[in-house]
Structure 1
C-alpha cells in the first residue's frame, strides 16, 4: 500500500509540474528573443520568470549572467554563472566569464583557481586565449597593488546625479560629458534612460552648475544613445558616437558622426565613412594636430579578440581613411576602449585585457627605446569597478569616469591631481618639408605628398599627407632611429634617415612642465622621367676589374631600395669608361661592369625583368678626357668613369595605393591645425 501511495504521489507531482515546465520553456524562448535584440534588461526579467517555473534552469541562469555581462554589469553575473556551472550547463563561456565576475567582486584567488582548472580542459581556442591572458594578469596583480601612486582623486559632486555621467572632455571654459539624466524612454539593454551629450561652463574642475545644458536635437537623437565626444583643437569640429535607432532603415550598430559649430549651433551630424554600418565604433579621440583619429571598434576582421583600439588618418584633402589596428602591444583578447592622447604623447586608454584590479582599468602607453610600455595607473585612479574615460586639462590635472562604490549613483565623473615630482616631460617633433626640383634645377615645394615614419625594425609608426605648403610633422622619441619615406604619383618614392640618438634634453635642465623641441628636415622627391640619366655616386671598380667592391655595394643597396619603393619602374643600368685603352676593350669592360651591378641587384631580390645591363664604353663622355692642348684631364676622365641608371618604362598598373580607402566627411577647412590650445586657467 505504501509503495502504491508513493508511486501515486510521483505521478501526481509530474502531472502538476508538466505545465510549469512547458511555461518555463516558453519563457526561455521569449527571453532569448529579447536577448538577441540586445534588450538585456527585459530578457533578465523574463529569464527570472523562467527560473521560478523550473525547467532548464542551467540555461536560464547562464542567459541571465550573459545579459548582465553584455550590459556592463558583470559584478551581478557571478551567482548566475555559478548556478549554471553547478547545474552542469555545457558552455565553456560560463566558466571563463565566471572568473571575470569573481575578479569584479575582488575574489582574485577564486578567479585564478577557476581559470587554472579550466585551462586543463579547455577546448575552444578563443576562450583558452582569453583565459590564459586573464590567468597571467591575476598572477601579476601584486605589482599593481604595491605600486606607489602620486594621484589624488575626488568625486565631482556638483555635476553627478543618481544617473550615469561619464566620458568627460575638457575644452577651454567648457566640460562636455555623456549622461542618462534626461529621463524619458528606457534603454532596454540596461534598464536606464538613453544617454545624451551635455556641456557645462567650467574653469578647470570648477563647474558652473547653472550652465548645464543638453546639446541640440540635431546632435542628440530621441530614443538613441549619444555620447563620447572629441574635438578639434579649435573646438569647432566634434566627432561623437551615436547608437542605432532600432529602425529597419537605420544602422545596426554604434557609429561615429561628425558635426561642425557654425553660427552658434552644431550642424546636422554626418556619419564618418570609416564607420561602417555593421561595425561597432565608439569612444573617439583626436590627436593634438587633428590629423589622427583614435577610436574603439568591434567586428573588424583584424581584431585581437574583443573591442580593439584603431586609428584613422586625415589626408591632404581632409578625408578620413587608412584605418589601422593599434596592434598587440595595445590590444588584447579582452576589451580596449576610451583612447586619449595627452600633450605628453602618452596614449591613455581603458582595458579589461591588461593586468587590472577589476573591470575596466586605465592604462598609459608610452614609447621608450623603440618599444611600447603599458603602465596601469594603479589605485586610486583604478578600482575593482570600471574606471575609464581619462581626460587631462593640464599635465597634472584631469578627469575620469568610474562606477566605483561611494559615488552618487551609476557612473560618476571624478577629478584628479598627479603629484609626481618627475612629471616634467619633453615632446620631440620632427618637422619636415617635401620638395622637388623644377626644370631649371630650382627647389620647389611639393604639396600633398604621403610621408611615412618607419621605425628601426621596419614597422610603420606614423603616416601623413603634407599640407599645401609641403609640411609634415611627426612625434619622435629619444634614443630611436627612423626612416622617412616620401611617396607621390609621378615621383620617385624617396627615403631619408633621421636619428634621435644623443639629441635628448636632460631631465635636470627642464624648466617647464611640458617642453616642446622640434628638429627640421627636408625630403626631396625627383620627378619620374623616362630616359633621363641619373648618376650613381661612388660606384668604383678596381683597375680593369668588374667585381662589386664593398663601397660600391653600399651605393647599389640604395638603388635596390629605389626599385623596391618604386615597383612600377623598369630601368637600364649603364657603365661608362674614359678613353684609355681601345674602344673594343672599353665596351667589353663596361658591359661586364654593368652586368655585375645588375646581377648584384637581382641577388637582392629585384625581378630581372625590370633590369637591363648596358655598357657604353667611352662612347658617351660627359666631360673631356684631355685638355684642348692634348694633355691629360684627370678630372674629366674621373667623371666619365661612371655608372648611371635611367627609367626605360613606367608600369602605372603596378603603382598601388597603400593608403586603403580615403574616406570621411571632414573637409580641410573644418579643422584649425595651427591655433594653440589654451588650458583655460
Structure 2
C-alpha cells in the first residue's frame, strides 16, 4: 500500500511539474508576442531548466535575442534547440544566420546545405504548401550565395579609415547620427528611467552635441526637449530637412495602452520661432513598423524602412514624395534591386546624390552591412562598401558631414558598449563623381510649341525609363518647373498631368551626353540639361494639328513617318481614356472639290484604322474628311499667284475632342478590407 501511494505521489509531482513548466512556456510566448523579449527570456530559461520542452524553450530564447537585434547571442540557443529536437524547422536557418554573425562561415554553410536537403526531402505533396517550401529554399540559397561571395568581398581594396567616436559613446547604445549646421544629432539609451522590456535596458531618446566635423564638444551634449522625447517611449532616427525647418523622427513602443502599436514616423515644423506638436505622418502603414526616415537632398522626398505587407522581405525601403499641399504621399517600394528577402533600413542620400543603406539580405560579412546603390546602364547596382566599414557585426546608419568624411554605427567588438558611433574617411583618390539633372517646365500651348501660353503650376510629372519603369515623380512649381536626376547613356519619357488639360508626353535622351572622367576637375560635378512639356487645354471641339502627317501624292496609305506621329496620338488617347475624338483630314484647293473631299475622307479613315490597330477602342474615334472646305490659310496670294506656304498649312491632319465620357458612379458599398481601401495593398 505504501509503495502504491509513493508511485501515485511521484506521478502527481511529475504531472504538476510538467504543468508548471508548460505554464512558463506559455507565459514566455505571450511576452514574446508583445515584444517584451527580455522578460520572455526569463520564462523560457525556467522552462529549459525544467528539462521539459527544452528544444522549444531554447528556440524561443534564440528568437528573443534575434528579434531584439542581439543575434550573436542567439547562436548557442538555436544550437541547443536543434540538439533537443525543437519542432520549428526554422531553427537551422536562424542558427546559420547567427553563425555568420559570429564569423563561423564554414559551419554556417554546412548547416545550410544540410537544412536545404532536409527541406527538399520533406517537400509537402499538397500544392498549396509549395509556396512556403520555395520561400524557405530561396532564403537558404540567398544566404549560401552571400557566404560564397565573402572571399571576393574580403579581397576588395579598403578605401576607408575608421575610428570609434569615443568622446560620445557610452556603455549604452548610441546610433543614428545626423549632422546639421554644427550639431550632431543621435539616438541613445544612456538616460536611464523606465525599462524597455524588449531589451531590459532604458528607452531610447534623441540627443545632440556641438561638433566641428568629428570633433565633439562633450560639454554640449544635451537631450532634446519633451516635444521630441517622451518618457516610456522609444524615440530615435532623427532627421532635418535641408532648410532645417522640418524635422522627422521615429517614435513607438510605448508603455501606455493608448499609444501606437508599433514604431511610426512623426513630423514637426519650425513655425514662428517654435516647433509644432509632432504629428503622425500619412506615409505610415497601420500595424507596421515604419522607421529610419531621411530627407532627399532637395527635401521633396522622404526615404524610410517599413515591414508593411506587399514588400520583398522583412523590412523594405520606401520613398514618399511631397505633393502640392506639402504633404508626403505617393509611397512606393524602391524595388527588388535594392530590397531583398532580408531587411533593408537606414537609407541616406548624400549631397553628391549617392544613395546608401544597410542590409542583411545582400552579400555581406554577417549581420547588417552598409551598401551603396548606383544606377549603371539603366539598372541599379548594389555594392558592399567593404571592410573596415563593414564587419560581421551590425554596421548601419551612415551619414556624410563632408565629402568623403562621415559617421556610421556598429556594435562590433572592441567598442564602448552596445551600438557605437564611428567616424570614417574615404581615402580613395579616384572618387570624383558627376551628377546629371534634367530641369523641365510644363507650358500650356494653343497649337504646339510655336504659341506657348503661361506656365502650368501643380502639374504631376512622371519620369519613365525606356522600358516604362517609373523612375521619379514631381509636381511643377509656380513657374511650371520641375527637376529630375538622370543618368548616363539612358533614354527617358516624361508625362505631365494637369486637371482640365490633355495629358502630355516628351522624350529626352542622355545618349552621348556623358562627361568623360578625364575631364572632371572637382570632386563632385553637376551637369544640367533642360526640356519642356506642352499641354493642350481640354476643350470640346478645339482643333489640334498633328504635325508632320504626310501622304504620298493622291494616296491614303500611312507612311512610316506618319505612323510615328500617329503613335503620339495613340499615347494621348491612352493617357486620356475618357475622351472621344474626331480625327480629320484636310486638303488644299488644288483639284476638284468632290475629289478632295473623298481623298481626305479616305486618309482620315486610314489614320483611324491605324490607331485602332494599336489597341484604341473604335467607339472613341471618328474619321472625318473635310477636303478643302476648312482652310486655315490662303491657298493663293491677293494677286492670284500660288501660295505654297498656305497650301502646306491647309494639307493637315487634326483631331478635336468631341465628347468627355463621364466617370462611372462608384459602388456605395465598400469592397475589400480597410487596409486595401486606404493603401491599395
Match of 2:73 in 1: 76
Match of 2:551 in 1: 541
Q: State the Cα distance separating 1:158 from its structure 2 match.
A: 0.3
Could you list the per-position Cα deviations for residues 202-254 of structure 1 after superposition, in whole angstroms to 9, with x for gaps in the alignment? Answer: 11101100000001111101100000011111222110000132433221111
Match of 1:369 in 2: 377
Q: Determine if the alignment matches structure 1 residue 332 to structure 2 residue 340.
A: yes
Is the alpha carbon distance of 1:237 and 1:662 closer, same or farther for their aligned partners in structure 2, counting shifts above 3 Å? farther
Alignment of 1:105-184 (within 5 A): 105-122=102-119, 123=123, 124=132, 125-184=134-193
Could you list the per-position Cα deviations for residues 119-168 of structure 1 after superposition, in whole angstroms to 9, with x for gaps in the alignment? Answer: 23325333222222112111111111111011000000000000000010
The DSSP-based 3-state class of the residue aligned with 2:413 is coil
Q: State the Cα distance separating 1:265 from its structure 2 match.
A: 4.5
Structure 2: unaligned runs, 5 residues or longer? 124-131, 667-675
Q: State the Cα distance separating 1:486 from its structure 2 match.
A: 1.2
CA–CA distance in 1 between the matches of 2:7 and 2:342?
49
Q: Which of the numbers 73, 97, 101 marks the counterpart of 1:100?
A: 97
Q: How well do the aligned residues superpose, as a CA RMSD in angstroms?
A: 2.4
Match of 2:46 in 1: 49
Q: State the Cα distance separating 1:534 from its structure 2 match.
A: 1.3
Could you list the per-position Cα deviations for residues 472-527 of structure 1 after superposition, in whole angstroms to 9, with x for gaps in the alignment? Answer: 11111122111121111111211112222222222222222222221222222221
Moved more, 165-174 or 426-435: 426-435
CA–CA distance in 2 between the matches of 1:340 and 1:203?
21
Q: Determine if the alignment matches structure 1 residue 613 to structure 2 residue 623.
A: yes
Q: Which of the numbers 15, 20, 28 marks the counterpart of 1:31?
A: 28
TM-score when normalising by structure 2:
0.92
Match of 2:296 in 1: 287
Preserved contact between residue 241 and residue 254 of structure 1 (Cα < 8 Å): yes
CA–CA distance in 2 between the matches of 1:58 and 1:442?
75
Preserved contact between residue 65 and residue 78 of structure 1 (Cα < 8 Å): yes
Q: State the Cα distance separating 1:8 from its structure 2 match.
A: 11
* Equivalenced residues, count: 655
Is the alpha carbon distance of 1:117 and 1:655 closer, same or farther for their aligned partners in structure 2, counting shifts above 3 Å? farther
The DSSP-based 3-state class of the residue aligned with 2:118 is coil
Moved more, 74-83 or 146-155: 74-83
Q: Determine if the alignment matches structure 1 residue 358 to structure 2 residue 366.
A: yes
Q: Which of the numbers 404, 420, 427 marks the counterpart of 2:428?
A: 420
Moved more, 469-478 or 438-447: 438-447
Is the alpha carbon distance of 1:277 and 1:10 closer, same or farther for their aligned partners in structure 2, counting shifts above 3 Å? same
Match of 2:282 in 1: 273
CA–CA distance in 2 between the matches of 1:630 and 1:506?
59
Q: Determine if the alignment matches structure 1 residue 237 to structure 2 residue 234.
A: no
Match of 2:487 in 1: 477
Is the alpha carbon distance of 1:538 and 1:318 closer, same or farther for their aligned partners in structure 2, counting shifts above 3 Å? same
Could you list the per-position Cα deviations for residues 249-303 of structure 1 after superposition, in whole angstroms to 9, with x for gaps in the alignment? Answer: 22111100011235665332111011133121000010010001000001x2320
CA–CA distance in 1 between the matches of 2:5 and 2:152?
64
Q: Determine if the alignment matches structure 1 residue 214 to structure 2 residue 223.
A: yes
Match of 1:261 in 2: 270
CA–CA distance in 1 between the matches of 2:615 and 2:76?
61
Preserved contact between residue 385 and residue 403 of structure 1 (Cα < 8 Å): yes
Moved more, 491-500 or 328-337: 491-500
Q: Determine if the alignment matches structure 1 residue 63 to structure 2 residue 60.
A: yes
Match of 2:671 in 1: none
Is the alpha carbon distance of 1:638 and 1:268 closer, same or farther for their aligned partners in structure 2, counting shifts above 3 Å? closer
Q: State the Cα distance separating 1:100 from its structure 2 match.
A: 0.5
CA–CA distance in 1 between the matches of 2:101 and 2:233?
29
Match of 2:320 in 1: 312
Preserved contact between residue 313 and residue 341 of structure 2 (Cα < 8 Å): yes
The DSSP-based 3-state class of the residue aligned with 1:121 is helix
Alignment of 1:344-493 (within 5 A): 344-437=352-445, 441=451, 443-493=453-503
Match of 2:672 in 1: none
Q: Which of the numbers 649, 657, 674 marks the counterpart of 1:647?
A: 657
Q: State the Cα distance separating 1:651 from its structure 2 match.
A: 2.8
Preserved contact between residue 427 and residue 515 of structure 1 (Cα < 8 Å): yes
Q: Determine if the alignment matches structure 1 residue 518 to structure 2 residue 528.
A: yes
The DSSP-based 3-state class of the residue aligned with 1:620 is coil
Q: State the Cα distance separating 1:541 from its structure 2 match.
A: 1.5
Q: State the Cα distance separating 1:13 from its structure 2 match.
A: 6.4
Match of 1:201 in 2: 210
Preserved contact between residue 598 and residue 625 of structure 2 (Cα < 8 Å): yes
Q: State the Cα distance separating 1:627 from its structure 2 match.
A: 4.2
CA–CA distance in 2 between the matches of 1:402 and 1:283?
15
Match of 1:322 in 2: 330
